[in-house]
Structure 1
Amino acid sequence: MPKRVRARRPRFLRSTLVIAATAALVLTGVLPSNAAQATRPSTTAAADSGHPVRESKPVYAYDTAVRESVWVDTGFDGDGDGKNDRVGVDIVRPREPAAQGRKVPVIMDASPYYSCCGRGNESQKKTYDAQGNPIGFPLYYDNYFVPRGYAFVAVDLAGTNRSDGCVDVGGRSDIQSAKAVIDWLNGRAHAYTTRTGTARTQASWTNGRTGMIGKSWDGTIANGVAATGVRGLETIVPISAISSWYDYYFSKGAPLYDSGPEWLSDYVDSPEARARCAAVQKRLVDEAPRTGDWTRLWDERNYVPDARKVKASVFVVHGMQDLNVRMQHVGPWWDALGKAGVDRKIWLSQTGHVDPFDFRRATWVTTLHRWFDHELLGYDNGIDREPMADIERAPDQWSTSATWPPRTTAATTLRPATGTQSGVGTLGLRPATGTETFTDDPGRNETDWAAQIDRSTPDKAGFTTKPLTRDLRLSGSSRVTVTATPSTPTAHLSAVLVDLGPATIRDYGASGEGISTLPDRTCWGASTPGDSACYKETAAKKADVGATVVSRGWADLGNYASDRTGRPLTPGKRYTITLDLGATDHVVPAGHRLALIVAGTDQDLIDPPADRPTLTLDLARTSAKVPFVGGAAAFARATSGTATAAPHTTGRDQVHPPRATHRIPGGSAS
């Protein structure tokens, strides 16, 4: 698709600084007497040069900050009552700047979860006093940033909490809920002091410069709003966010969950919305068929084609083992943003669906502070000259990459072949012939397959390289093309890349998805009696394993002719389809092996087909394109010579099997 390249600030291409893991300042309050200092830029010394760097400081009083609610006219009638929907917006902002004639930027989190489910690791909800005035705001954004001269704006999506309208799960109503607020902040929309009244109010206290942030559905809304190109949105920080809602529910026709978006909307709808949104619910059912066929509903909820409209910078955070919002949402969005010339930064962790506040807290708060200072206040603090990517290699062990994926990365075609030993196929650069056969077993999953890679089992076809003689890095998205003959009219396929060898990883399949919540609390900003800045600490939950799944993908073989429409299969006929595996960044160490596994249903990660097929792979027409740093030459060097294989422990070791722990893009660690 065409992409428009625009002149922008310097992109994150040069590795001239290293982000220090600096402990964030712990605040229990701020001194009002310091407020006058806010008219003078604060400075700190840059780590690399000694030159002063501007940094926002906690000079405003949090306890006397303005806390108010407004209702913004969305210009959209989602519930069909003949009136424009109004969305509830709760605001907390420092009181002093307005008295000084200064305007402040906005950090905004638009969410459907503020009343139904809560936000963050401790499931915090908004709280109000008896008159309906906001008292408590979930998460630390208000506590930390309001004393530093930012406003925090918490938006209830249409159909949730105190908003009119209906939840339409990533569609026009969801996106317009948040976009209208940015328009109001920039003087282009109307807001009212009450939900039904006529008294208008203006956002005269802000300069309109807005940064959106949020995890899961919240981050998804940030993606969608940025894709409208709305003026005033300067940056977004999508955490574990969706880029295409079809890919949340299906993977080339293979269903990932046993329900569609109507379940989600019903889960977060306010009681009033449930009573008036039957038409929206019906559309979510009718236009999201369980066949996995692509409809116009999915076009409306696919933000990737509109990456060319994005004017905001984008700081992506995602867990490489997120089995809720899977890594398939990262690669296409990231690549499209790059083609559009968007300023980008990325963190990739070993966790599942977890916020960086809960897996790298001190460094995250410091980095986010610098990011917003740069993007919303315009401070030259050097963050735009630092490495583009931070990648977790082992629990709490991070590396950086100047660009992501690295410029030397090239897709390399690997070909599976029948091995000389029983049950052990090979994986290499040379074309092969022959066949492999397996039968779909819906009770088996990728952990089972990897544990038995060196044994012939009826539920999979497995292929491995020789033990590597040097480290080999994968960076980006892989594709596996499979030619298979099914025995039944329906068949699902899974393809996984596996690092075979001992390692200590985050236990992403367990409760917490790679973190343990501890009883002790640390504080990240100023507190009031109704809004604490103190949160439970966390630690990495680790597991010793003999194999690590690096990347995975799925498809309904019936989608062989089209990504958008499935067809019945003719038993005994050969079909070819390409599976898109999620993006990753993983180093396979010397002594380990890289494996490709092709199988049927990946238990708990996709739903099984109507039949239980046996599939025969044509190996001459089956291959994997894998993004190696250094390309085919790097793979050839790593697989040349003789190396001693690192022990590969069979069984599950100490890791929990993968499981779809959530049916919503949120959950207890949301």
Structure 2
Amino acid sequence: MTSHLDLTLVSTTMNRLSLPVFVLLLFASSPLRGDDITIPVIKDGEAQIIKELEDSDYWIRHDLWVETEFDLDGDGKLDRMHVSVTRPTQTDTQSLKLPVVYNSSPYFAGTTGGDDTYFWDARQELGDEPPKRSAAPEIDREGLRPIISKRHIKDWLPRGFVVVHSSAPGTGLSQGCPTVGDDPEALAPKAVIDWLCGRGKGFTEPFGGEPVEAYWSSGKVGMTGTSYNGTIPLAAATTGVEGLEVIIPVAPNTSYYHYYRSNGLVRHPGGYLGEDIDILYDFIHSGGTEETKAYCDCHVRDEQMMANQDRATGDYNDFWYTRDYLNRVDGVKAAVLMAHAFNDWNVVPEHSIRIYEALRKNGVQTQLFMHQGGHGGPPPISMMNRWFTHYLFGEDNGVENDKKSWIVREGDERTNPTGYPDYPHPWAKEVVVYPVAGAPQRGGLQLSPVEEPSEETLVDNFSFSGEALAQAEFTEHRLVYTTPKLSEAVHLSGTPRIKLRMACDRPAANLSVWLVSLPWNTNKHSKITDNIITRGWADPQNIDSMRESKPLVPGQFYDVEFDLQPDDQVIAKGQQIGLMIFSSDRDYTLHPTPGTELTIDLQQTQLSLPVVGGTMQFAPEN
């Protein structure tokens, strides 16, 4: 009997065979058929694991190339995407048609790894052109045919789904160029879905080859993935492609401007100081010949990305507009289960919240799963199963009537979320608090504005991290204002908003705001709420327009107003809620020469908090 490993080797070495011959070879060498297995088995509204399908001897694996409608690499031929399929043998022995769980990624073939020497230098004066960066290292392509990835197979194939993977344009064995958020990243998965639904063209080879049909597909497709792999399902859904019934994006990047900028400010994703969209392009560009890579580098990275990303001002423009899926969300027809974390400082939580709110407004069947951890973290497998079983197998399990919002509460396991009617919590009301002077130590936060004019000044210095500034008892490099100790726990649910009046002694400045819980918890094993409640960043030069910066007049006061990141968090009894205002955020913003002075007019500054229960719940400890 031929082993699974033997079959993989056959598929690698005999890739010039047409798919029908390849499949016949598989069955000629293996007596396992499983004709007596029933697929699917559904119980309590969920597709159940079929024990036999946990055994890879009951799987068929093959790969192919799906033709798209674009030619990115300039070779005069429509680009083809590399696709791999893993399906139960019953799709042939019983002529069974099954729905598909589909995952697409630019990462499957490898990336530049952990080398960040080619990132932009954050040590840059605001408004200046950035120092030239180094060239990216070459990517050693990973993976052998026909297996692009093994992700999601163990979860979904034993439950009776076909699992399909594809490499994004310009990565792995997929043709074209990476465009990082532009049209082709939506049109590539659309082409694969069209093929899965009998409308597209598949071939055994990247050029020429024999036709391949997805005769085993029921024509119903669901997509899921995390981070960039979660962005692609949303991108595909915005095309309105028929057959894409449901998507479960986890921590998706829904706007590259919101990923690399904040309110006109150059801001880097957490953990990736100096990254920008051209860096991400280099990070994933694992596909193509030397000739096509050079073409893509010139026409996509250099002429489009580096020419338009604007690291000098951070302003919004048409380049960024085309890479914001909120501008395309009207095309979404598929049901959507959004998943994200409130403490994700890589892809910040607004990415999912903004899309969730827009989809709900458009009447799309949508639910939201949020947890208190960091980047990634899918919904419980049971929740995902209910969604896939309902929308792909057509099981009437009532998932559309479930709670609209699922929040993992502090200290709870991610598999045990609490259901709410919606997000934000319907009982959340705006509570406005006002700062009281106290610099260079800590001032107060109270429910009424200060009566007398009051100004306080901070001095920018990127040398100090935000965490260090929040914990400092005495420093000129930030302003902190805290409530008295809370007599009862306070549940925040929604998007805090800061409004302040400020002046600067220079034409440009970073502006950073953190909302923190104090005293600081230094016990890493404690289940106390994370001290960083939420954050926000803005460029005061963009108060009139995100598309055009205007230099500040030194000494002149400006009104600056912007949202912090959305949150749903319970601040424990006995803690204090603190508002911290500072300039350069060491781990996120550019690093201008220290010394810029920001003056805050406290009488014209306020913080709006979304408090469940409103002001009555926001009482100081006696």
Task: Sort the TM-score into its range (normalised by shorter chain).
Answer: 0.7 to 0.9
Q: After the TM superposition, which residues 284-299 of structure 1 pair with which residues of structure 2 at under 5 Å, given as runs?
A: 284-290=305-311, 291-299=313-321
- Give the superposition deviation at 1:33: 7.6
Residue 390 of structure 1, CA deviation:
2.9
The yes-or-no answer on 1:440 pairing with 2:460 is yes
Could you tell me whether the CA contact under 8 Å between 1:418 and 1:426 is conserved in 2? yes
**Residue 597 of structure 1: how far off its partner (Å):** 0.8
Specify which of 383, 389, 394 is matched with residue 406 of structure 2: 389
The amino acid across from 2:478 in the alignment is K
Letter paired with 1:436: E
Matches within 5 A, 1:232-631: 232-257=243-268, 258-269=274-285, 270-272=287-289, 273-277=292-296, 278-282=298-302, 283-290=304-311, 291-356=313-378, 364-387=380-403, 388-394=405-411, 396=413, 398-402=416-420, 403-419=422-438, 423-432=441-450, 433-452=453-472, 455-501=473-519, 542=525, 548-609=531-592, 612-631=595-614
Residue of structure 2 equivalent to 1:70: 64
Cross-structure match for 1:202: 213
Identify the residue that residue 97 of structure 1 maps to in structure 2: 91
- For the Cα contact (< 8 Å) 1:442–1:601, is it kept in 2? yes
- Retained in 2: the 8 A contact 1:71–1:194? yes
- Of the structure 1 ranges 441-450 and 282-291, higher mean CA displacement relative to structure 2 is found in 441-450
Residues 319 and 348, structure 1, Cα contact 8 Å, conserved in 2: yes
Q: Which amino acid aligns with 2:384?
A: L
Shift of 1:341: 2.0
> Are residues 482 and 274 of structure 1, via their aligned partners in 2, closer, same or farther at CA, if it must alter by over 3 Å?
farther
Matches of 1:189 and 1:620, distance apart in 2 = 63
- 1:474-511: CA deviation from partner (whole Å, max 9, x where unpaired): 11222212211001111011111111246588x6xxxx
- 1:346 shift after superposition: 2.8
Pick which of 460-469 and 605-614 moved more. Answer: 605-614
Change (3 A) 1:547 1:65: closer
* One-letter amino acid of the counterpart of residue 303, structure 1: Y
- Describe the superposition over 1:578-602 as per-residue Cα deviations: whole angstroms up to 9, x where unpaired: 2321111110112111111111111
Q: CA deviation at 1:354?
A: 3.5
AA aligned to 1:104 is: L
- The question of whether the paired residues in 2 share the 8 Å contact of 1:349 and 1:391 is answered with yes
| Letter in structure 2 aligned against 1:477 | T
Identify if the C-alpha distance between structure 1 residues 504 and 354 changes in structure 2 by more than 3 Å, giving closer, same or farther: farther
In the alignment, the residues of structure 2 paired with residue 135 and residue 210 of structure 1 have an alpha-carbon distance, to the nearest angstrom, of 20
Structure 2 Cα separation of the partners of residues 136 and 263 of structure 1: 24
The TM-score, its normalising length taken from structure 2, stands at 0.82
Residue 146 of structure 1: SS of its match in structure 2?
helix
1:349 deviates by: 2.6
1:382 shift after superposition: 4.5
C-alpha change, 1:616 and 1:136, in structure 2 (3 Å) is closer
Counterpart in the other structure of 1:646? none
Mapped partners of 1:164, 1:33: distance in 2: 35
1:492-537, Cα deviation, whole Å (9 max, x unpaired): 11111111246588x6xxxxxxxxxxxxxxxxxxxxxxxxxxxxxx
Hey, what's the Cα distance between the residues in 1 that align with 2:512 and 2:100?
A: 43
Aligned to 1:655: none
Q: Distance in 1 between matches of 2:500 and 2:546?
A: 14
Indicate conservation of the 8 Å contact 1:105/1:377, yes or no. Answer: yes
Does structure 1 residue 147 correspond to structure 2 residue 165? no
Residues 86 and 162 of structure 2 are in contact (CA less than 8 Å); yes or no, is this contact kept in structure 1?
Answer: yes
Q: CA separation in 2, counterparts of 1:451 and 1:69?
A: 55
**Could you say what secondary structure the match of 2:63 adopts?**
strand
**Which range moves more in the overlay, 173-182 or 153-162?**
173-182
Residue 154 of structure 1: CA displacement?
0.7
2:131 matched residue in structure 1 = none
C-alpha spacing 1:209/1:416, structure 2 compared with 1 (3 Å): same
Structure 1 residues 166 and 624, CA gap change in structure 2 (3 angstroms): same
Verify the 8 A CA contact 2:100 2:162 in the aligned structure 1. yes
Correspondence for 2:41: 42
* Contact persistence 1:504–1:544 (CA under 8 A): no
Partner Cα separation in structure 1 for residue 158 and residue 107 of structure 2? 25
Structure 1 pair 186–137 and aligned structure 2 pair: CA distance change class (3 A):
same
How many residue pairs align between the two structures? 548
Q: Judging changes above 3 Å, is the alpha-carbon distance between structure 1 residues 136 and 285 closer, same or farther for their aligned structure 2 residues?
A: closer
Q: Provide structure 1 residue ranges, at least 5 long, that are not aligned to the other structure.
A: 1-30, 47-52, 357-362, 508-541, 644-670
For 2:283, give the aligned amino acid: Y
Q: Tell me, yes or no, if the aligned pair for 2:47 and 2:160 is still in contact at 8 Å.
A: no
Distance 1:135 1:491, change over 3 A: closer
Q: Specify the SS of the correspondent of 1:38.
A: coil
Give secondary structure in 1 for the equivalent of 2:185. Answer: helix
- Alpha-carbon distance change, 125 to 633 in structure 1, aligned in 2, over 3 angstroms: farther
Distance 2:142 2:155 in 1: 17
| Distance (Å, rounded) in 2 between the aligned partners of 1:396 and 1:56 | 23
Gapped regions of structure 2 (runs ≥ 5) = 1-30, 114-139, 269-273
Q: 1:394 is matched by which residue type in structure 2?
A: G
What is the distance in 2 between the residues matched to 1:439 and 1:300? 37
Post-superposition offset of 1:631: 2.6
Identify if the C-alpha distance between structure 1 residues 306 and 409 changes in structure 2 by more than 3 Å, giving closer, same or farther: farther
Change (3 A) 1:163 1:545: same
**TM-superposed deviation, 1:621:** 2.0
For 1:440 and 1:330, the matched residues in 2 are separated by 32
For residues 54 and 557 of structure 1, do their structure 2 counterparts lie closer, same or farther at Cα, with a shift above 3 Å needed? closer
The 5 Å alignment of 1:209-220 reads 209-220=220-231
More strand by share: 1
Q: CA deviation at 1:54?
A: 5.3
Tell me, in whole angstroms, the C-alpha distance in 2 between the residues paired with 1:548 and 1:616.
Answer: 26
Farther off after superposition, 270-279 or 248-257: 270-279
Deviation at 1:260, TM superposition (A): 2.3
Distance 1:393 1:547, change over 3 A: closer
Q: Indicate the larger mover: 198-207 or 391-400.
A: 391-400
Q: In the alignment, is the contact (CA less than 8 A) between 1:331 and 1:582 conserved in 2?
A: no
For residues 32 and 385 of structure 1, the distance between their equivalents in structure 2, rounded to whole angstroms, comes to 41
- CA apart distance, 1:339: 1.2
Distance 1:142 1:545 in 2: 36
- CA distance in 1 between partners of 2:351 and 2:227 (Å): 11
CA displacement at 1:348 relative to structure 2: 2.3
Q: Give the letter aligned to residue 362 of structure 2.
A: A
Tell me if the contact between 2:187 and 2:239 (Cα under 8 Å) persists in the aligned partners. Answer: no
- Pair 503,572 (structure 1): closer, same or farther in 2 beyond 3 Å: closer
| Pair 1:166-2:177 in alignment | yes
User: How far is the alpha carbon of 1:135 from its aligned partner?
Assistant: 4.0
Q: 1:286 to 1:626 in 2, by over 3 A?
A: same
SS of the counterpart of 1:621? strand
The offset of 1:110, in angstroms, is: 0.8
**Which deviates more, 168-177 or 376-385?**
376-385
